[in-house]
Amino acid sequence: MKAAALPRARSRRRHAFAPLLCALLSLGGCAGPSGPAAWDKSFVAKPEMSMSWNALATRLEQQVYESKEAASGGYGVGGGGCGCN
């Protein structure tokens, strides 16, 4: 009778550790650098690395955005507005 109960106990232990193992493996993907290193930022800042293909149109869009939102330098970041609380 004990021989039949032994595989069930092992199976329960395996099933108990499965969620813990999945959580540990998924948290391993969260560790790492959050952005480029300081010495790599010069490569990202090159004009050919920009997301827009038309620099003049992008600058015009930024100017319109800044004038409507009354915020300078707030492009791509949440916030802005009139500044009243």
DSSP for 27-53, written as a single string:
HGGG-S-SS--GGGHHHHTSGGG-S-S
Comparing 53 with 1, the larger pLDDT belongs to 53
Comparing 48 with 3, the larger pLDDT belongs to 48
pTM of the model: 0.29
What are 69-78's pLDDT values in tens digits?
665 555 555 5
Place of tokens 């032994």: 6
**Mean pLDDT, rounded, for 59-76:** 71
Annotated domain spans of the chain? 50-74
Q: Output Rg (C-alpha) for the chain, integer angstroms.
A: 27
What are 30-59's pLDDT values in tens digits?
666 677 777 877 777 777 777 777 878 888
